[in-house]
A = this chain, B = another copy of it.
Amino acid sequence: MTDHPAVQPPEAEPAEEEELYGLSEEDLRRVREALETNQVAQIEAIAERLHAADVADLLERLTSEERRIVVGIIRGTLDPETLTYLDETVREEVIEILGPRDVAQAITELDSDDAVELLEDLDEDEKQRILASLPPTERAILVEGLTFPEESAGRLMQREVATVPTSWTVGETIDYMRASGELPDDFYDLFVVDPKHKPVGSVPLSRVLRSRRPIRITDIMDSEIDVIPVETDREEVARLFRQYGLVSAPVVDEHGRLIGVITVDDVVDVIDEEAEEDLMAIARVGESDFHVPAHQTAFRRIRWLLVTLFNTILAASVISRFETTIEQLVALAVLMPIVAAMGGNAGMQVVTVAVRALATRDLTHANAYKVLGKEISVALMTSVVFAAVMGVIAWVWFGRWDLALVLSGAMIFNIIWAGFAGIAIPLTLQRMGVDPAVAAGPFLTTTTDVLGFFVFLGLATLFLL
């Protein structure tokens, strides 16, 4: 674009537009242009117009060098929430650019759960320096937050909770809320607590608003509430929210006292991250490395590919046992990858369904035999279809019905094995405490490769030479 007149649109209207559609390519282009021509005001204006989440996107899209300059320009007006939206790798970089004083300032402005998330990524020295500079109450809350296990409910929860005693009416509740300055920014339920601060019920705000002032809070509360112990794993927390469509849930300490609240927006992030973890594990990437520099990405990927290398070397060593067989009938070298690949792919289908079903608790040790039975039936039908198709193709191709029969037999064996192992391997790994999403795939394909080659070449040695 060359001489497009630089008319600034009126302030309110287009801001809404941008909000809906997020960071545009146009924004990014304009930031880059402003960087080249050193127009600080232009960059400030764009950043201020964007939602914190979109500023985070903007920073992620820039190169390290551009990022350093842009953060330098907007540090004065940067919404602290931006930090919580950043990808971990980029966040570490931005925190370093901001320095401890600005980060400490940001932490005091954030909700306790977001503040803990920022703190946990810092190195010990910096963490202590920042904590020391905070007011005592806030420091105490954050220090305690850091003591909860990573990935636990304690890390997800916000300490700011709106609670009311059992004795209050709707009127007293509304008066208290109008007067109090200590309530969280946004909340969706009030929690009713007994004198020991144990939660006895919850009331959605919409119900408070619809009830007349003299009505007692205990008369409109739900007393069947899902109480989450502080040590609960975050994956389990996400499962509960999903299962029961919760919007917020109280978190309790070991004495059953209310110490925090988890809201659904935090859980959305967890669901998203857990789904990404499973996806990346199945493809053996570990975790998304999109924003990670090339050499680090290479290092991580190589680590995961070592398993594949080991697997294929094992398979190759099986093939090498049959070198003389292959020398006499080279068609075997042509057909053997088909046996291994069909078994491996059929098995990965089973593993993926099983991993997902374990996560949603559809598959448990109690119904394992039923599921195993189903998968073996599926494998039987699948293998017969492909054995027939490939058998005919091989017969036509190489003109030997006995070769076709050996191929079909090996395919049936390998696909049925894949159906069995696709359920048995994830279940066994889970019982051993190993994440099946990560380990089941490599284990499975190693067995389908090794067994596929062994059975096919073995049968060929017995019957075809």
A residues sitting closer than 8 Å to B (CB atoms) are 12, 15-16, 19-20, 22, 25, 28, 51, 53-54, 57, 60-61, 162, 174, 177-178, 180, 183-188, 204-206, 208-212, 223-228, 240-247, 264-265, 267-269, 271-272, 275-276, 278-280, 282-285, 288-291, 294-295, 297-298, 301-302, 304-305, 308-309, 311-313, 315-316, 319-320, 323, 326-327, 330-338, 340-342, 345-346, 348-349, 351-353, 356-357, 361-364, 366-367, 371, 374, 377-378, 381-382, 385-386, 389-390, 393, 397, 449
Interface of A is mostly: helix
How many copies of this chain? 2
Contact B356 A279 (CB under 8 A): yes
Apart from A19-B226, A53-B244, A327-B330, what 11 extra A-B contacts exist at CB < 8 Å? Answer: A180-B210, A186-B204, A205-B205, A246-B265, A285-B349, A295-B377, A298-B382, A302-B381, A305-B342, A312-B342, A326-B333
Greatest chain B CB density within 10 A among A340, A361, A381 is at A381
Q: From residue A83, how far is it (CB to closest CB) to chain B in Å? A: 14
Contact B364 A25 (CB under 8 A): yes
Which residue of B has the minimal Cβ distance to A384? B298
Whole-angstrom distance between the alpha carbons of A209 and B356 in the complex? 42
Contacts of A16 in B (CB 8 A): 224-227
Cross-chain contact of A309 among B178, B272, B342, B364 (Cβ < 8 A): B342
Which residue of B has the minimal Cβ distance to A84? B245
Which residue of B has the minimal Cβ distance to A363? B290
Contact B279 A357 (CB under 8 A): no
Contact B361 A298 (CB under 8 A): no
Which residue of B has the minimal Cβ distance to A295? B381
